[in-house]
Amino acid sequence: MLPHLSSDASHWAFGQDIEVLPRIFEDGITLAVMQRRLDPTLTLAVRAQLSGTRPLDWHWRGAPGQAMQQDLLRRLPAPEAGAALAEDVGHIAEAMAYLFSTDTIGIRLRTLEGAMCPRFHVDNLAVRLVTTYAGPASEWLPEHAVNRAGLGAPHPDKPDIVADPAAIQRLGVGDLALLKGCGWIGNEEHGLVHRSPQPAEGERRLLLALDPG
Count of domains in the chain?
Answer: 1
The predicted structure's pLDDT at residue 159? 84
CA 54 to centroid of chain Cα atoms: 22
Q: Is the pLDDT of residue 59 over 50?
A: yes
Q: What is the CATH number of the domain that holds 45?
A: 2.60.120.10
- Find the DSSP H helices in the chain: 40-50, 66-75, 83-99
Q: Is residue 93 assigned to a domain?
A: yes
Say if 37 falls within a structural domain.
yes
Does the residue 46 lie in any domain? Answer: yes
CB atoms within 10 A of CB 212: 20
Short-list 136, 139, 158, 140, CA closest to 149: 158
Q: What's the pLDDT band for 175 if we cut at 50, 70, 90?
A: very high
Assigned domain for 183 exists: yes
Q: Is the pLDDT of residue 8 over 70?
A: no
Q: Is residue 66 part of a domain?
A: yes
Strands (DSSP E) contained in the chain are 12-15, 31-34, 57-62, 105-112, 127-134, 139-141, 169-170, 176-180, 193-195, 205-212
Instruction: Please indicate, yes or no, if residue 59 is contained in any of the structural domains.
Output: yes
pLDDT tens string 10-19: 899 999 999 9
Closest by Cα among 157, 130, 153 to 211 = 130
Give this prediction's pTM: 0.91
Q: What is the structure's pLDDT at 201?
A: 81
Q: Please indicate, yes or no, if residue 4 is contained in any of the structural domains.
A: no
Q: How far apart are CA 140 and CA 184, in angstroms?
A: 18
Tell me which of 197 and 134 has the higher pLDDT: 134
Residue 3 is assigned to a structural domain of this protein: no
What is the chain's percent helix, strand, coil content, to nearest 5? 30, 25, 45
| Per-residue model confidence as pLDDT tens digits over 139-162 | 999 999 998 888 877 777 888 889
What pLDDT score was predicted for residue 36? 97
Structural domain boundaries enclosing 156: 9-212
Q: Is the pLDDT of residue 96 over 90?
A: yes
CA proximity to 193, closest of 15, 36, 30: 30
Q: What's the confidence (pLDDT) of residue 116?
A: 56
Q: What is the mean pLDDT of the chain?
A: 91
pLDDT band for position 5 (cuts 50, 70, 90): very low
